[in-house]
């Protein structure tokens, strides 16, 4: 069986422990991955430190050229990368291709790093004094990424970090490790010096070593809220810069004046695409008025029941398997809890034929109506193909409901009215907001991040915030006195006037 190895300074290195990597559609082990111990983490950090000085001093335009070549190689090998994503995660090939394309957009943005790193300049900021600022890399930085986007989320992080002059260590999910090593190979082919980008597979032992080592100056993380909070606190306690993106419970408000056919169609993709294993998935539809709810629920139930569920590696399926058995059982358990709490179960994914017929980890589309705020299926992030419908009387009640929730990642409103849209976007306490856009994931030249328990740290992922996160601003003032001039001591605090 193929072993997925680390990439340390360009070398393939096996981990001392191995675990199986499964195809969720079949529950079969397709390869193994070696997990790092602390000694391998230290070796990787040392390799990144060795590569850093020369790369940091490489002109930004030359660093950008590596990113240009990397982008072309990603596009050249897109089909191979997409096949790995589908095989290890379970998502459909079409969904995997969409993930990769969104990731490549971040590489394109990083290609503009010479412009993005330009500082500011003030001539005669004070008497005979000029002041300028620049962006300088942090040093060795690391990214810890989740199973659900094995290509896109790493591409949120390392292209900009590397383009800014840092050395990067990627710790991908051990459940979906192959895309990371494929990208490492492509970076080397693109001309990136060895040691500037390293891939380290591991579990909590590796993560703790990255948190504790003082040579790692910053950590980027995407995953669940409990782990995000732990990494943020641990990194901050060790003096690191940290951005830790956590969980979500994303609401879509459906107004009575919305195009309900369009709302139903887009909700299907937003709720059940990628089997709901997205931090931006819509998991709650908040319907304003019973008439709106009755119509929407009927449309969604009909459309969801016709979704084609099956192996993601086979073309033509709308939804694949969940990532592993324990997560499948967790999602099914939430459906049990929703039923026990009294929610109206209109579509039961536990009864999908593949649940019984396939060895894979399937749960079909699930739809609950008349869900209330006290139910666990409303409060908790299920991370599966479960859509809950909550009924409210008006927009203000919908806004208050969403603002009370612990998460604030993404939300949207379906309406044809500008007044409602403006009130919603102004008053909602959520980081990413859509109007008739169910998955308001910002494009690469904006930044991605939520509020409340969905983000720990001050800076969001990718876009302009990535430049700020992976660099430090330095302000420099200089003055060249005229030859032969004599000046006395100035005891008062200097000012520019």
Task: Tell me the catalytic residues.
Answer: 279
Specify whether the CB–CB gap between 174 and 201 falls below 8 A.
yes
Query: For the chain, what is the HEC assignment?
Result: CCEECEEECCEEECCCEEEEEEECCCCEEEEEEEECCHHHHHHHHHHHHHHHHHHHCCCHHHHHHHHHHHHHHHHHCHHHHHHHHHHHHCCCHHHHHHHHHHHHHHHHHHCCHHHHCCCCEEEEEECCEEEEEEEEECCEEEEECCCCCCCHHHHHHHHHHHHCCCEEEEECCCCCCHHHHHHHHHHHHCCCCCCCEEECCCCHHHHHHHHHCCCEEEEEEECCHHHHHHHHHHHHHCCCEEEEECCCCEEEEECCCCCHHHHHHHHHHHHHHHHHCCCCCEEEEEEECHHHHHHHHHHHHHHHHCCCECCCCCCCCCECCCCCHHHHHHHHHHHHHHHHHCCEEEECHHHCHHHHHCCCCCCCCEEEECCCCCCHHHHCCCCCCEEEEEEECCHHHHHHHHHHCCEECEEEEECCCHHHHHHHHHHCCCCEEEECCCCCCCCCCCCECCEECCEECCCCECHHHHHHHCEEEEEEEEECCCCCCCCCCCCCCCCCC
Beta-bridge partner residues of 390: 286
């Amino acid at each position: 069986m193929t072993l997925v190895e680390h990439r340390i300074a360009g070398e393939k290195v096996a981990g001392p422990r191995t675990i199986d990597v499964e195809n969720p559609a079949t529950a079969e082990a397709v390869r193994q991955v070696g997990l790092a111990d602390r000694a391998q983490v230290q070796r990787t950090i040392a390799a990144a430190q060795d590569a850093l000085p020369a790369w940091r001093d490489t002109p930004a335009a030359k660093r950008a050229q590596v990113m240009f070549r990397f982008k072309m190689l990603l596009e050249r090998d897109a089909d191979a990368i997409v096949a790995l994503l589908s095989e290890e995660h379970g998502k459909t090939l079409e969904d995997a291709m969409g993930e990769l394309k969104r990731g490549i957009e971040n590489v394109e943005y990083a290609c503009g790093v010479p412009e993005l790193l330009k500082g500011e300049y003030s001539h005669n900021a004070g008497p005979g004094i000029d002041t300028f600022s620049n962006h300088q890399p942090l040093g060795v930085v690391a990214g810890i990424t989740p199973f659900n986007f094995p290509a896109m989320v790493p591409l949120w992080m390392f292209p900009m970090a590397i383009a800014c002059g840092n050395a990067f260590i990627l710790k991908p999910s051990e459940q979906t490790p192959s895309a990371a090593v494929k990208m490492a190979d492509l970076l080397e082919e693109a001309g990136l010096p060895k040691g500037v980008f390293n891939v380290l597979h591991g579990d909590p032992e590796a993560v703790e070593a990255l948190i504790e080592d003082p040579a790692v100056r910053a950590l980027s993380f995407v995953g669940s809220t409990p782990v995000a909070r732990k990494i943020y606190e641990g990194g901050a306690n060790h003096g690191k810069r940290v951005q830790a993106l956590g969980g979500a419970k994303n609401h879509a408000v459906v107004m009575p004046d919305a195009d309900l056919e369009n709302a139903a169609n887009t909700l299907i993709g937003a709720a059940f695409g990628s089997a709901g294993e997205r931090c931006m998935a819509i998991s709650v539809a908040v319907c304003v008025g019973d008439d709106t709810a009755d119509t929407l629920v009927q449309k969604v139930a009909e459309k969801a029941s016709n979704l084609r569920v099956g192996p993601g590696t086979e073309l033509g399926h709308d939804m694949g398997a969940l990532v592993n058995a324990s997560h499948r059982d967790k999602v099914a358990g939430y459906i049990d809890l929703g039923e026990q709490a009294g929610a109206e179960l209109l579509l039961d994914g536990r009864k999908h034929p593949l649940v019984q017929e396939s060895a894979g980890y399937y749960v079909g589309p699930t739809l609950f109506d008349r869900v209330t705020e006290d139910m666990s299926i409303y409060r908790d992030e299920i991370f599966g193909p479960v859509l809950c419908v909550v009924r409210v009387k008006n927009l203000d009640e919908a806004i208050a409901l969403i603002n009370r929730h612990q998460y604030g990642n993404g939300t949207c409103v379906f309406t044809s009215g500008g007044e409602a849209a403006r009130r919603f976007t102004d008053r909602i306490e959520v980081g990413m907001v859509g109007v008739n856009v169910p998955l308001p994931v910002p494009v690469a030249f904006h930044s991605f991040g939520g509020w409340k328990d969905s983000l720990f740290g001050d800076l969001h992922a990718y876009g302009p915030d990535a430049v700020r996160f992976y660099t430090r601003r330095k302000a420099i003032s200089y003055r060249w006195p005229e030859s032969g001039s004599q000046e006395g001591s100035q005891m008062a605090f200097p000012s520019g006037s």
